[in-house]
Structure 1
Amino acid sequence: MYQKLRTGLLAVTMAFSLPAMAENYTIGTGSQSGTYYPLGGMLAKIWSENLPDFNMRAEVTAASVENTIKVSTDKQLVGIAQGNVVLQAANGVKPFPKKLDVSVLFSLYPNVVQFIVPAKSDIKSIADLKGKRISLGAPGSGTRVSAVNILNTLGITEDDITAQSLNYTATTSALANNQIDAGVVVGSVGVGAITELALTRDIRIISFSEDELAKITKDYPSYIQIDVPADAYNKVPAFKAPAVWNVLVVNNNMSEEMAYNMTKVAFENMDKIRQVIDVTKYTTIENMAKLQGISLHPGAEKYRKEQMK
């Protein structure tokens, strides 16, 4: 009897003395050769170090589409995604079969749609892509969604090309080895995959015409025009391209307190993130709601309004 009582008391004592276990979360990123992965790693580190009972790791994924789906089904706490993909998810537009319960924590930086070709290629414009072998991006990626949407808007369907579904690394490798004629990478200016390719191969990035950009922004208002200067990549001439804001996508059901605290901690530590991820110079309080057509999560909006006073 005494032994049973002693064992019971010991169990109760341990229950009260053990520290609370931290909750484990993931942030969906993209391939390791893009910007999403290191940015997600930095955010995970900042949140883990500054939020109580919070432990997060960055997960390699196919990027925007996969991240948005996983966030909506509570398989990830937060994901990095292209704004146009999140808008399509919120509205139930293909590739999503129905409306998903998602909202935005805050906007990050613009992602540029970059059609890459060898420098000596006879492909001089988007129209010249007809009949060519093109990597449109990995399945489940925002790159593929953007590439298909833009080509369709400009009168080119997948039937007009020989389409391949390669991620960033495979796309640049295939270009380097003349296995494809063009490849699409949707990422920040200076994205690692293109930077590395430009150091070993002579390449160009197709420049969109003013008429093409006008058609794209008419059909997809979430896009903006970006003028990229010469030598943003090694020996690559200046080019014009459509761009769309990347965002942090979260589930609508995330608590207001958690959304507020995650937003607050991220911006309080943004200088540390900028030391590692240069494009986060665009990640500001003023740009939080840059993506039109979808609301910020109430917790994030509360923080934004406090800071804008």
Structure 2
Amino acid sequence: MRSMIKKGIISLALAVSLPVAANNYTIGTGSQSGTYYPLGGLLAKIWSENIDDFNMRAEVTAASVENVIKVSTKQQLAGIAMGNVVQQAYQGTEPFPRKMDVSVLFALYPNVVQFMVPANSDIKSVADLKGKRVALGAPGSGTRVSALNILKTLGIEEGDMRGQALNYTATTEALANGQIDAGVIVGSLGVGAITELALTRDIRILSFSDEEIAKINQANASYSGLDVDADSYRNVPAFQAPAVWNVLVVKGDLDKDLAYEMTKVAFDNIDTIRQSIGVTKFTTVENMNKLAGIPLHPGSQQFMDEKK
């Protein structure tokens, strides 16, 4: 009997003294040479340090499409994705087989559709890409979805080009080595992959005409034109390109209190985030619902209502 009592006391003491294990989560990002990965890593660190029983790490993925699918199937707690891809997921249109259960936690910053060519290339406009070797983005990436949608809107099908499915790093390496004629990266202005390429190679970024921007916007209202100043990248002339907002997505049924806390902690630490990720100057309470047509998660909506 005494032995049983002693064992019971020990078991109770262990139960009281041992800490409860933190819940482990992941946030889906993208290529390590893009903006998604460092931003996701910083958010994961801030949430882990400021939310009780919460441990998160950033996961390298093929970006938007993969992140949306993994969030909606509970393989990731959160993911960064381009707004047009999230809209397609929410509506259940290609490349998604059905409607995905996703909500927007908050909008982050605009992505720019950047078609790169060598500075001396005879490719002067998007129309000149026909018949060329073009890197269109990794399979499952928002870059690939956006590039193909935009080109199709402008009358250019994938079969009109010699398309290649490459990620950011492989795209810039192939362009630098003359293995492709053009490559597209859909990312923040100043994205590392293009910045690094421009330091060692003379490149241009194709400029879209006003008529092309209008046609793209008419086909998909999530896009708008963005005028980019000369030398935003080393020796790259000014250009105009379509831009679309990136957002942080979570599953629609994520616990409201947790969604609220994640949102609050992120904005409580936004100055720290901006010190490392310059484009998060666009990440504001006023811009939280920048992606039209998809509601904010109830938890983040509560935070925005309180702030406003």
Q: Distance in 2 between matches of 1:258 and 1:53?
A: 11
| TM-score between both structures, scaled by the size of structure 1 | 0.99
Aligned partner of 1:60 in structure 2 is: 60
Aligned partner of 1:39 in structure 2 is: 39
The root-mean-square deviation of aligned C-alpha atoms, in Å, is 0.7
**SS at 2:166 equivalent:** coil
**SS at 2:76 equivalent:** coil
Aligned partner of 2:299 in structure 1 is: 299
1:114 aligns with 2:105: no
- How far does residue 17 in structure 1 lie from its aligned partner after superposition? 1.8
Q: Counterparts of 1:90-109 in structure 2 under 5 Å?
A: 90-109=90-109
1:251 aligns with 2:256: no
**SS at 2:113 equivalent:** strand
User: Would you say how many aligned residue pairs link Structure 1 and Structure 2?
Assistant: 308
1:162 aligns with 2:157: no
Q: Distance in 2 between matches of 1:69 and 1:22?
A: 25
1:174 aligns with 2:174: yes
Aligned partner of 1:284 in structure 2 is: 284
* Long gaps (5+) in structure 2: none
Q: Distance in 2 between matches of 1:244 and 1:172?
A: 22
Q: Distance in 2 between matches of 1:21 and 1:256?
A: 22
Q: Counterparts of 1:225-264 in structure 2 under 5 Å?
A: 225-264=225-264
Question: 1:157-211 CA distances to partner (integer Å, 9 max, x unpaired)?
Answer: 0110001000000000000000000000000010000000000000000000001
Q: Distance in 2 between matches of 1:293 and 1:20?
A: 40
Letter in 2 for 1:119: A
Aligned partner of 2:124 in structure 1 is: 124
**SS at 1:183 equivalent:** strand
Q: Distance in 2 between matches of 1:19 and 1:255?
A: 23
Q: Distance in 2 between matches of 1:253 and 1:242?
A: 32
Q: Distance in 2 between matches of 1:138 and 1:83?
A: 18
Letter in 1 for 2:156: I
1:135 aligns with 2:142: no
Q: Distance in 2 between matches of 1:142 and 1:170?
A: 16
Q: Distance in 1 between matches of 2:246 and 2:54?
A: 24
- How far does residue 261 in structure 1 lie from its aligned partner after superposition? 0.6
Question: 1:70-118 CA distances to partner (integer Å, 9 max, x unpaired)?
Answer: 0000000000000000000000010000001001000000000000000
**SS at 2:276 equivalent:** coil
Q: Distance in 2 between matches of 1:187 and 1:206?
A: 15
Aligned partner of 1:210 in structure 2 is: 210
- How far does residue 2 in structure 1 lie from its aligned partner after superposition? 2.9
Letter in 2 for 1:141: S
**SS at 2:173 equivalent:** helix
Aligned partner of 2:187 in structure 1 is: 187
Aligned partner of 1:28 in structure 2 is: 28
- How far does residue 5 in structure 1 lie from its aligned partner after superposition? 3.0
**SS at 1:8 equivalent:** helix
**SS at 1:275 equivalent:** helix
Letter in 2 for 1:240: Q
**SS at 1:9 equivalent:** helix
| TM-score between both structures, scaled by the size of structure 2 | 0.99
Aligned partner of 2:12 in structure 1 is: 12
Give percent identity, aligned residues only. 70
* Long gaps (5+) in structure 1: none
Q: Distance in 2 between matches of 1:161 and 1:301?
A: 43
Aligned partner of 1:223 in structure 2 is: 223
- How far does residue 20 in structure 1 lie from its aligned partner after superposition? 1.3
**SS at 1:244 equivalent:** strand
Q: Distance in 2 between matches of 1:121 and 1:221?
A: 31
Letter in 2 for 1:134: V
**SS at 2:14 equivalent:** helix
Q: Distance in 1 between matches of 2:306 and 2:287?
A: 15
- How far does residue 3 in structure 1 lie from its aligned partner after superposition? 2.6
Aligned partner of 1:87 in structure 2 is: 87
Regions of 4+ moved over 4 Å: none
Letter in 2 for 1:109: Y
Letter in 2 for 1:145: V
